[in-house]
Each structure stands twice: as structure tokens, then as C-alpha cells.
Structure 1
Amino acid sequence: MKKTLIITFSILFLFIGCKSQINYKKQDSFKETSKRKHTIQALLWQQNAAEYRALTYQAYNLAKIQLDKILADNQFNKPIAIVTDIDETVLDNSPYSGKQIELNENYNSKRWTEWVKKEKANSIAGALSFFKYAESKNVVIFYISNRSTNQLNETIKNLKTHDFPFADRSHVLLKNTSSEKETRRNLVKETHEIVLFLGDNLTDFASVFENQSTSQRNKSVDSLRTLFGEKFIVFPNPIYGDWETKGIFEGKYDWSTVQKDSIRRKKITSY
């Protein structure tokens, strides 16, 4: 009798263990097929929330206030320039993020190139009026973006579609081999005094933010806090950026979907 009970409980335990394992695998399988689920809410916010538009207007209004102050106290020996990022600062690429969700795929250069070639990115709210105003004050605009140089023609055409000033080969500086922007900023500094930097990623402002962890990024922001809103104008982008790739995922690009999900959950603070 005792032996029979032991065998029965052993079989039952084995059955429960197997069932639990099967459920876990099913859960993993579900996660593996939901590569972009985590971006849905962020994309809905960017495309629909009036608060998002309010923030971009706020950023450009602040940039105009700062530019007026600079112009009123202009003591520079060089022509004045503004350096701006393009994607999610001047042009809205949220439809590309929508396609990623629709097709359940992460970033890939082929799909991104497909989107850029359409030249259909809309302008960010507040962008055109600000840059037109800057142009009217004889301020030069340089667009420094990590779009690839082989997308230069399409990028310029897209900017010209919205009538952005200085949309030409001399003022649109794209990525050649390196994604760091300091080299291109230094080229501008040779001939111009850069008075404002605009972007949605911290590396749009200074090299100190290159390849940093989350804690390092926050410490660097704290150390440069007086520049934000004065010389550095930041735009909201909850969908992608170094805050995720270099921060949350620590600069590693080979995490599986399941691992990414686990990392995201572990880095959330609760009580």
C-alpha cells in the first residue's frame, strides 16, 4: 500500500512538472512572437495624445525664447548656427514604428530604407515655424542625423516637401561610417558658432553621452542640468533611442525577445 502511494504521488508530481513546463514554453513562444508589443502604448501616445504635440510646441517655443536672448546679446565673431537632429525632432517617423508592430519585426535596415524612400515623414509640430523664424534672423541651420549617407537625396527631398530652410547637401550631415556626431558638430564649429542643439537623444548634444549605461546617463544629465532648456532642447521619444539600447539593454544587441522582456520587467521600480 505504502509503495503504491509513493508511485502514485511520484507520477502525479511528474505530471504537474511536465504540465508546468509546457505552459512555460507556450508562454515563451507567445513572447517570441510579440516582438513589438511593448511599443504599442508609446506609439499610440505619440500619434494621438495632444500632450505629445503640446510638448513639441513647448520645446520649440522654448528654443525661440532662448534664440531671442542669444540674438539680443550677440557677441560672437562667427555666424550663428543651430544644430538639430532630424528623426523625431524635425520629422515624424511614427508610421515606420507602426509598420514594425503590424509586421511584428524589430528594426531592420531594409524596412527603414523602404520608409525613407517614400519621403512621407510629416514635420513635428512647431518645427517649421521655428526654423523659418531662425532663418529670418540670419541663423544657419545644420541637420546632423544618423540616417545613412546613401539616404541623403530622399532626406533632403522630404525636408523640402515641408519647406524646411537649408535643406541641401551643405547643411544636411548624415552618418558615413560612425554614428558618433561630435566629428560633424566640430566641422560646423570651424565656421559657425553653435548656439542651440535640438534632439530627442542625448548624443545629439554632446559626446559625453556616448555609449553610457543608464546610471551614467543620468549622472551626466545631472552634471549638465543647467544647459537643458538653455542650450540643449530635448524632444520626447518613448519608442526608441540610446535610453533603451545603451541604457536598458546595456549596449548588447543580441538579447532574445524573452530576455528583453525579462530585462524590462527587472528594471521597473515598484513599491
Structure 2
Amino acid sequence: MRGLALGATLLLAGCASVPAELAPAPVPPAAPSEAAKPAAQLQYLYGSPEAAVAVRATNARIADYGVWRIKERPKDSVVLAPGATMDAPAFEPCGDKPFAAVFDADETLIWNLGPMRWFAEKGTAFDPKIWDQWEKAGAGKAVAMPGSVEMVNRLRAAGITVIANTNRSAANAKGSEDTLRAAGLGEFKHGETLFLMGDDAGGSSKDGRRAAIASKYCVIILGGDQLGDFSQQFNAKDLPAAQRMTLATSAAAENLWDRGWFLFPNPVYGPWEKLGWDDAFPSDKQWEPE
């Protein structure tokens, strides 16, 4: 959500009025020559056939999984129970609750093309006031991600309730309902099939909202573009990058990825933007030409 400045702008934070994934950090504006075309990550996610194919394939896997999973009623949902950890995972029981699939909204069900282009062309950092306007009046300018309409329709046809759990503001609930509808994703109703930041005291953490959903539904699918869409454990304050990687690639997590937990590609923003050279390129793998 920026020009070339996007690479460091949208760090995860618990902002009360904007999605935590999109919280601002000061970044110098891009020079006019740099803003002549979108940043590479924007080109990839929103304009490349490579990204379109990857996203469509993820949505197809989700639909196939959901239709298959309900054939044999699962004992547990894929929502971690309160107090459970990735080291000792335990899940909310299903009982005879109806089935549901829970998704993030931004860069999971929809692409926010309107503000993404605006910030990039202006070469500015993320502005919460602009984002607030987008939440209220962006309907028709966001688009459904490739394959998401087909995926949502297949799940609903199979009897699976589709729910959005997003860090958009509860104060702008109608705008988000309108945006999802205008993108072709059907009806979402705040408090029933649309859960927003401000619905509880958890701030940007979605754990409380997930628990509320899991108390009424057997959640067989979680989908998102950030690890916080699955558990706030991945966003623990001061969690070292190496430990975050370990949590996400542990044996317990590996049993969930593409088996109830589905992650969408998003190179545009996320908590990984805090990584340093040694986080991305381990020092013992350094190489220099002779």
C-alpha cells in the first residue's frame, strides 16, 4: 500500500480504526521517476498471471477441501481452543454445530485496488484517514480475488456458512458489507457472517472473534494472507523472527496447512517487513565472488 515505499510501510499493529495488517510506519515518498510504475510487489500480486494462477489454485483447493471434509463430520474445528499453543495444539470441539469457513477479507477475499493504486501513485505512506474513507465508500472499486467467487459459491452450495473475520473497523460495517457484495461475494451481515475489529475488546487480535464463531459453528476452514488470521500466537510481541518461522513450520502447523488452514500469497504488506539481512539471509550462507 504505497509506491516503492510499500516495502516498509504496512507493519502489523493494533490500530483501533484500520486493519492491523495495514498500520502505518513513516517512509519517505518515492521520487517521481520511481512512481512511474508500480512497485515490484504490487505488479506481482495485482497484475501478474503468476499471482492470479497461484490465488485461483488456492481457492480451488479450499473449495475441494470443504466439499470433501463435510462428508465425514470432524470431531474438532480448526480453531485453536483458548490456551492451546502450537506446541500443544487443541481445538474447539464441533459437536453437532453447523459447518463454517472463516476468511480474512483484505487480500484474501478481495483485492483493494482503489487505495493500493492511490498510495502508490502518490508515493505516500499508508494514511489511516484515507483507509477509513475506503472502508466507508470503496464498494465497486475492490475486486474479488481470482477464484474467490467460485470458491465461496461452492462452499455455500455445500451447506457451509462463509464468514469474514477482518480487521476492518466495526464503525464502517455497512461499507464493508457493501464492498464484499459489490465484488460479487454475496451477502455478509455484521455480527452474523461479518466480524470486525471493535466487535470485542481484543483489538487487532482475531482470536476472540474466532472463538465466538467457533462457539456456534464447526469451523472446518480458516483462510487468510497473514499468520494472525490463524492464531495471534504468530504475532506475539517481540517474537523473534526465527521463532516465528519455527512456529509456522512446526510439525503441528504442517498438519494444518492445506488441511483446514489455507494461506494466500501477499508480498505487499505483513509483519515479515521487519526482517533484517540475517533473518532473510543466514550469516552462515553468505557468499562472495572471488
TM-score by length of structure 2 reads 0.71
When structure 1 is superposed on structure 2, of 50-59 and 72-81 the one drifting more is 72-81
Contact (CA 8 Å) 2:109, 2:144: kept in 1 or not?
yes
Verify: 1:174 aligned to 2:196, yes or no. Answer: yes
Identity across the alignment (%): 20
The superposition leaves residues 142-166 of structure 1 with CA deviations (integer Å, 9 ceiling, x where unpaired) of 1000011122111101111134244
Rounded Cα–Cα distance in structure 1 between residues aligned with 2:217 and 2:52: 31
Partner of 1:217: 244
| Correspondent of 1:227 among 247, 250, 256 | 256
Query: Aligned-pair distance for 1:210?
Result: 2.0
User: What CA distance in whole angstroms lies between the structure 2 residues aligned with 1:107 and 1:35?
Assistant: 16
Q: Which residue does the alignment assign to 1:260?
A: none
Deviates more, 1:211-220 or 1:37-46: 37-46
Report how far residue 57 of structure 1 moved.
0.8
2:97 equivalent to 1:97: no
| Alpha carbons of structure 1 residues 89 and 33: separation in structure 2 relative to 1, 3 Å | closer
Task: Tell me the SS of whatever aligns to 1:125.
Answer: coil
Report the equivalent of 1:107: 126
After TM superposition, the structure 1 = structure 2 runs for residues 240-251 of structure 1, keeping only pairs within 5 Å, are 240-244=269-273, 247-248=274-275
The one-letter code sitting in structure 2 at the alignment partner of 1:175 is: M
1:77 to 68, 74, 96: 96
Counterpart pick for 2:222 among 193, 197, 212? 197
Structure 2, gaps ≥5 residues long: 1-26, 75-94
Residue number among 30, 33, 36 corresponding to 1:34 in the alignment = 30
- 3-state SS of the aligned residue for 1:86? coil
Contact 2:100 2:160 in 1 (8 A): yes
Q: Which residue of 1 aligns with 2:178?
A: 157
For the 8 Å contact 2:230–2:261, the answer to whether it is kept is yes
Q: Which residue of 2 aligns with 1:145?
A: 166
Counterpart residue identity of residue 162, structure 1 = A
Aligned-residue offset at 1:46 = 1.5
- The aligned counterpart of 1:135 is 156
User: Deviations for 1:36-86, whole angstroms, at most 9, x for unmatched residues?
Assistant: 969700001112210100011111111122112211112551101111000
Q: Is the 8 A contact 1:59 1:235 kept in 2?
A: yes
State the partner residue of 2:106: 87
Structure 1 186/103 Cα, relative in aligned 2: closer, same or farther at 3 Å? same
Of the two structures, which has the highest relative contact order with CA contacts closer than 8 Å and spacing of 6 or more? 2
1-side partners of 2:50 and 2:150: how far apart?
19
Q: Distance in 1 between matches of 2:117 and 2:185?
A: 25
* 1:234 Cα offset (Å): 0.6
Which structure has the larger Rg over C-alpha atoms? 1
- 8 Å Cα contact 1:88/1:237 also seen in 2: yes
8 Å Cα contact 2:222-2:229 kept in structure 1:
yes
Q: Name the SS of the counterpart of 1:95 in structure 2.
A: helix
Q: Which amino acid aligns with 2:195?
A: L
State the distance in 2 between where 1:94 and 1:241 align: 17
Segment drifting more, 209-218 vs 182-191: 209-218
Give the CA deviation at 1:268: 5.0
Matched residue of 1:187: which SS? helix
Question: What is the SS of the residue equivalent to 1:142?
Answer: strand
1:197-222: per-residue Cα shift (whole Å, max 9, x none)? 00000010122212333212211111
Which amino acid counterpart does residue 174 of structure 1 have in structure 2? L
Q: TM-score, normalised by structure 1?
A: 0.76
- The residue matched to 1:99 in structure 2 has which SS? helix
Aligned residues: 224
CA separation of 1:138 and 1:166: change in aligned 2, threshold 3 A = farther
Give structure 1 stretches of 5+ with no counterpart. 1-30, 249-262
Are residues 96 and 195 of structure 1, via their aligned partners in 2, closer, same or farther at CA, if it must alter by over 3 Å?
Answer: same
User: Helix, strand or coil for the counterpart of 1:155?
Assistant: helix
Equivalent of 1:121 in 135, 142, 145: 142
Residue 208 (structure 1) aligned with residue 225 (structure 2): no
